């Protein structure tokens, strides 16, 4: 059975594009609590986590998945080769899960910490207590995304063809 994995990567890219549009919409809403997002991002400190999470989500969650879809399309359609299901299926799943979870968690941590730092003038110790539970889960999800990327790249490299 012939698989068209580029379609699945494109679908994941589209899902992330809609999530990014929703995230962007929430950032610009003119009423509380959403109206606090831009001052939080501008305030620096933990608010930078929100900025970085958003930018990484757009660039990796959309850009990387879109690029992978195009590259896999070239392999599957242009070259007529097939990717290994045992590599590409878990690769896509881990990549999607890792990128989405790590970036969205980073954004959430930045919003919470930035709110406390910028608007509530929280102490450094209380900010550390608030943000430290996010560090290891975010780091773990980055490793999950890396594992997914490696599996996907291996599937592309080892694609079988005519």
What does pLDDT average to over the chain? 92
Write the pLDDT tens digit of every residue in 110-130.
999 988 888 888 788 888 989
Q: In terms of Cα–Cα distance, which of 87, 86, 76, 70 is closest to 162?
A: 76
Q: Is the pLDDT of residue 162 over 80?
A: no
Q: pTM for the complete prediction?
A: 0.90
Say yes or no to pLDDT of 1 above 50.
no
Nearest Cα to 127, choosing from 115, 136, 139? 115
Domain assignments of the chain as residue spans, ordered by start: 5-157
Rounded-to-integer distance, Cα 31 and Cα 8, Å: 37
Which residue did the predictor score with more confidence, 62 or 47? 62
CB atoms within 10 A of CB 96: 22
For 49-92, how does the pLDDT look when each residue is reduced to its tens digit (9 = 90+)? 999 999 999 999 999 999 999 999 999 999 999 999 999 999 99
Question: What does the alpha-carbon distance between residue 121 and residue 27 come to, in Å, rounded to a whole number?
Answer: 21
pLDDT tier at 151 (50, 70, 90 boundaries)? Answer: very high
How far apart are the C-alpha atoms of 143 and 125, rounded to whole Å? Answer: 28
Which residue in this structure is represented by tokens 């490299």?
157
The residue-averaged pLDDT of 85-100 equals 97
Q: Cα separation of 49 and 70, whole Å?
A: 30
Three-state secondary structure call for residue 82: strand
Written as six digits, the tokens of 155 are 């599937």
């Amino acid at each position: 059975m012939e698989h068209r994995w580029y379609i699945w990567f494109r679908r994941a890219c589209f899902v992330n594009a809609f999530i990014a549009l929703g995230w962007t919409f929430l950032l610009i809403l003119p009423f509380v609590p959403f109206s606090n997002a831009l001052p939080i991002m501008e305030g620096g400190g933990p608010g930078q986590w929100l900025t970085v999470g958003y930018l990484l989500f757009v660039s990796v969650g959309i850009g990387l998945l879109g690029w992978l879809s195009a590259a896999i399309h070239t392999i599957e359609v242009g070259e007529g080769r097939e990717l290994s299901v045992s590599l590409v299926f878990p690769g896509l799943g881990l990549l999607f899960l890792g990128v989405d979870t790590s970036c969205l968690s980073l954004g959430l941590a930045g919003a919470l910490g930035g709110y406390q730092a910028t608007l509530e003038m929280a102490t450094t110790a209380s900010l550390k207590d608030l943000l430290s539970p996010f560090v290891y889960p975010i780091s773990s999800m980055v490793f999950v995304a890396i594992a997914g990327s490696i599996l996907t790249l291996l599937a592309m490299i080892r694609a079988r063809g005519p």
